[in-house]
Amino acid sequence: MGERSADEKKALRAALAVGFATAAYGISFGALATVSGLDIWQTCFLSLVMFTGGSQFALIGVLASGGLAAGGAAVTSAALLGTRNVFYSIRMAPIIGPGFFRRAAAAQLTIDESVAVASAQSSLPAQRYGFWVTGIVIYLGWNLTTLIGALIGDLLGDVSAYGLDAAAAAAFLGLLWPRLKERQTQAVAVGAAVVATLLTPWLMPGLPVIVAAVVAIVIGGFNLFARKGTTA
């Protein structure tokens, strides 16, 4: 490979910084997954194949509260959280370019972080480079740390004594926090939390989370709580 352009070096630095930060989530995910009833293989399978943190956390969160009976709700929650990747893949398709294998690999690496790093670059080569480097660094780091976390979680045994159930809620909060900049998003978050809490005594575990998604559809559909002059 020849000299990297200044743009590409900037993309590389961003990729490594984001990659190492995200790898730390992997430990939490691995530990919490084994705690919610998955074995080490199932935990690693999620990180290898599903490979989208929000959906992975959602799946184990619903399984932890509802057990196998909430399986349908767990799959639905993971899928709903994964819908944002549809929009990421649409945005990335022209950057990645044609080719079946290249697109298949890119699809697997299409996550919050790789799209964010790519979108932050100004030239097309740097965008492409940023996407691949970030995606690959995170894929390797996330899977390695998931395994480490799963082994730790497996050793711990009874988790509520260590406060790990509270740690799971704190982990979700960490995923939500950076999204709370807009007033509309804040309104959706508060509304969804209230709806899910109020419905918990009335519905099967897992379902309140899915019904709470309606709050996003209502507020997004009618564009409520948006700042004046912004439509998107």
Partner 1 sequence: MTTWQIVILASIVCLALKTVGYLVPPRAFEHPTVARTANLLTAALLAALIAVQTLGAGQSIQVDARLPAVAVAAVLYALRVPFVVVVIAAAAVAAPIRAVT
Asked if 40 is part of the footprint of partner 1 (rule: CB under 8 A), the reply reads no
Three-state DSSP class for 157?
A: coil
Which residue in the set 2, 157, 221, 229 belongs to the binding site for partner 1 (CB under 8 A)? 221
Asked if 134 is part of the footprint of partner 1 (rule: CB under 8 A), the reply reads no
Instruction: Name 152's Cβ contacts closer than 8 Å, sequence gap at least 6.
Output: 27, 30, 31
Nearest by Cα to 200 from 189, 212, 184, 218: 212
Question: Which of 125/205 has CB closer to partner 1?
Answer: 205
Nearest by Cα to 7 from 136, 128, 121, 132: 121
Asked if 50 is part of the footprint of partner 1 (rule: CB under 8 A), the reply reads yes
In the complex, least distance from residue 8 CB atom to partner 1, rounded to whole angstroms: 23
In the complex, least distance from residue 121 CB atom to partner 1, rounded to whole angstroms: 19
Nearest by Cα to 108 from 55, 23, 51, 42: 51
Find the DSSP H helices in 157-181: 164-176
Q: Kindly state the tokens that stand for 219.
A: 């507020």
Which residue in the set 2, 3, 68, 157 belongs to the binding site for partner 1 (CB under 8 A)? 68
Asked if 45 is part of the footprint of partner 1 (rule: CB under 8 A), the reply reads yes
Question: Which of 16/175 has CB closer to partner 1?
Answer: 175
In the complex, least distance from residue 202 CB atom to partner 1, rounded to whole angstroms: 8
- Tell me if 59 sits within 8 A of 78, measured CB to CB: yes
Asked if 231 is part of the footprint of partner 1 (rule: CB under 8 A), the reply reads yes
In the complex, least distance from residue 2 CB atom to partner 1, rounded to whole angstroms: 28
User: Using CB under 8 A, which residues numbered 82 to 121 contact partner 1?
Assistant: 82-93, 96, 103-104, 106-108, 110
Question: Which of 133/209 has CB closer to partner 1?
Answer: 209
Q: How far is CA 151 from the centre of its chain?
A: 21
Q: Kindly state the tokens that stand for 139.
A: 């894929």
In the complex, least distance from residue 176 CB atom to partner 1, rounded to whole angstroms: 4
R_g of the chain, CA atoms, integer Å:
19
Asked if 27 is part of the footprint of partner 1 (rule: CB under 8 A), the reply reads yes
